[in-house]
Amino acid sequence: MSRLSAAIQSTNEPHARRARRPSRGNVVRLLLLFEAATFVAAAAIHFGALLQGYGHRKAGTAETVIAVVLLAGLALTWRAPPWPRRAAVAAQAFAALGVLVGLFTIAVGVGPRTVPDVAYHLCILAVLVVGLALATRGGTPPLGARHG
């Protein structure tokens, strides 16, 4: 390998690695999609569409509303700034509040009190906290930034 080709290769390597790494905005979008999908699945379970024995209509309704809010937030992440960050934060904050309400209803005995319900609430809350941290974190590139 000639010196010139070695210099070109070493110069392009950091750029190539950076190009393969998804942007923070895309990671937040993937998290919003994942979160919404899990709420759709949870709602389907509580409505009896996926599994029997876990029916709880009120929980299914709440999960459906949260899924719709997360999907709306996801859709708004393709708008011009400042909407992407605001939408991602608002949707995930709404979902986190809903999860906390769900945990409260489990604790007081109003909501479904199964091990899968408690495990789901705790796991999705952790995912939502990570999503909120990514969506609110400063630095470059911010969610919704245009890349040229």
Domain assignment of residue 9, yes or no = no
- Name the band, by pLDDT with cuts 50, 70 and 90, for residue 38: very high
Distance CA 67, CA 62 (A): 9
Average pLDDT of the chain is 86
Per-residue pLDDT of 56-87, as tens digits, reads 899 999 999 999 999 999 999 999 999 999 99
pLDDT of residue 75: 97
Domain assignment of residue 110, yes or no = yes
The single residue listed with the structure tokens 């809903």 is 98
Distance CA 73, CA 76 (A): 5
Q: What percent of the chain has pLDDT over 70?
A: 80
Cα within 13 Å of Cα(14), Cβ side: 2
Model-level pTM? Answer: 0.80
- Name the band, by pLDDT with cuts 50, 70 and 90, for residue 18: low
Domain assignment of residue 13, yes or no = no
Domain assignment of residue 12, yes or no = no
Range of the domain at 100: 24-136
Per-residue pLDDT of 95-111, as tens digits, reads 999 999 999 999 999 88
Domain assignment of residue 6, yes or no = no
| Of residues 107, 129, 131, 130, the one with CA closest to residue 117 | 107
Domain assignment of residue 53, yes or no = yes
Domain assignment of residue 42, yes or no = yes
